[in-house]
Each structure stands twice: as structure tokens, then as C-alpha cells.
Amino acid sequence: MRVLVIEDNAVLSLTLEVMLKKMGFSKIQKAYTPKEALDLIDEFKPDLLLVDINLDSDLSGIDIVRIAQEKRPHSVVYTTANSDQYHRELANETQHDAYLIKPLNFRSLSSAIESISLRLAV
């Protein structure tokens, strides 16, 4: 499975990459800006998007998911510090598999990705 991490914080991005490698993933790309994310979605053709909602940009992670899903379906895990109802409702306007609240831990991330993998295997 190809995984694209969309996260503007370099430390968190690296942490997610390390967790994914520990889970056995080797095809991982990282995007720090919406433009990088949209370019990599077209070039890398990821199966799974790990998406931070607030990217300190005009486009949010939710906007990127909307654009990506217009092109083709993607599995999506939102990773965010926003636990409020407003952001959850915005995320619910897109197809996504999980909404994980930061700080993330290995168990919650691996559980979310495992359920996606099982669904895709069927």
C-alpha cells in the first residue's frame, strides 16, 4: 500500500513515517504543503492519505481530500489536534476512514490502518 503523509510539522511527519515503517510500510511519501500534497497525489498515486487538517495555508487538509477524491477514491485518516464538533462535521463531508486526535500513539494509528487494510483485502 502506498501512503502519503500530509503534515506541515516536520517532526510529526517524521514520527508518522517511523510508525508506518514499524507497521511494515515501505512506500511512503511526505508532503508539507498543499501544493506538494496535490502534486504527490498525482505522481505517487497513494492508496492511503494520512492528513493533518490544519496546514497553515489557504487550503486545509479537508480541501486536499476533497480535491483528491474528485480524481479517484482514497482511504483517508485525518490526524488533527481539532477535536471540536465543527472540524468533525467538515471532515464528515468527505469520505474518510478515521479521525485521530493528536497526540497520536502507535496503537490508535495501527488499529485504524489495520481496519483499512482488512477492508481493502476483501
Residue 115 lies in a domain: no
Residue 119 lies in a domain: no
Instruction: Summarize pLDDT for 18-55 with one digit per residue, the tens.
Output: 999 999 999 999 999 999 999 999 999 999 999 999 99
Where in the sequence is the domain holding 34, given as residue range(s)? Answer: 3-105
Rounded-to-integer distance, Cα 51 and Cα 36, Å: 13
Entry pTM: 0.95
* pLDDT at residue 122 is higher than 70: no
CA-closest candidate to residue 100, choices 88, 86, 116, 117: 88
Residue 114 lies in a domain: no
Residue 11 lies in a domain: yes
Domain count, the chain: 1
Query: Within 13 A of 105's CA, how many CA atoms are on the CB side?
Result: 2
Instruction: Summarize pLDDT for 57-110 with one digit per residue, the tens.
Output: 999 999 999 999 999 999 999 999 989 999 999 999 999 999 999 999 999 999
Residue 79 lies in a domain: yes
Which CATH number belongs to the domain containing residue 41 in this structure? 3.40.50.2300
Residue 117 lies in a domain: no
Residue 112 lies in a domain: no
Burial class for 121, CB neighbours closer than 10 Å (0-12, 13-18, 19+): exposed
pLDDT of residue 79: 95
